[in-house]
Amino acid sequence: MTSDPFRIPEDADIADAERNLNFHFPPAYVEFLKGGSDVANAYFEPAVIFPGSSYLDIFQIAESAWTHSGVPKDWLPFIEDNGDHFCVSQTGEVSYWSHNGATNERWPNFSAWFQQVCVERN
């Protein structure tokens, strides 16, 4: 196995990340991770579940968001952009968390978020 933090994660890697974060990833987020977390049309970079991924390290992003930004631990920040976060719940709902706090921007599932934010770029 390579130590490249930007490789496509395998099931064991995802299970390790879930255990270390104490957060069960919803199936659509797992699919997103296994698909290379491709948000090429969007304006941001998704977090990476492997240690050593610098500013994209999901463990550092989550700890900072949970500790300093007020993001509840039942939401996993999977994108950090200038103090703002896109977060996913264990049920698969996605929420936007501003550096000013909670917002009303929510998507019922990961697919709806991906379509609007990454494909349509709205």
> What is the C-alpha separation between 121 and 18, in angstroms, rounded?
29
Domain boundaries, the chain: 11-119
pLDDT of residue 2: 46
Q: What SS3 class is residue 61?
A: helix
Distance of CA 114 to the CA centre of its chain: 12
- The answer to whether the beta carbons of residues 106 and 122 sit under 8 Å apart is no
pLDDT score for 92: 94
Q: Which residue, 100, 107, 13, 8, is CA-closest to 59?
A: 13
pLDDT of residue 45: 86
pLDDT of res. 83:
92
Give start and end residues of each alpha helix (H) in the chain.
11-21, 27-34, 58-68, 110-113
Tokens of 95: 């929420």
Please tell me the class of the 11-119 domain: alpha beta
Q: For residue 1, what pLDDT is reported?
A: 42
Q: What pLDDT tens digit does each residue of the chain (122 aa) get?
A: 446 777 789 999 999 999 999 999 999 999 989 886 655 555 778 899 988 788 899 999 999 999 999 999 999 999 999 999 999 999 999 999 999 999 999 999 988 998 898 888 77
Residues 6 or more apart whose CB falls under 8 angstroms from that of 60 comprise none
pTM of the model: 0.89
- At residue 122, the 3 state secondary structure works out as coil
What pLDDT is stored for residue 57 in this prediction? 94
Q: Cα torsion for 88, 39, 60, 85, to the nearest 10°? A: -50
- Contact of 121 with 41, CB cutoff 8 Å: yes
* Cα–Cα distance for residue pair 37/49, rounded to 1 Å: 11
Q: What is the pLDDT of residue 76?
A: 98
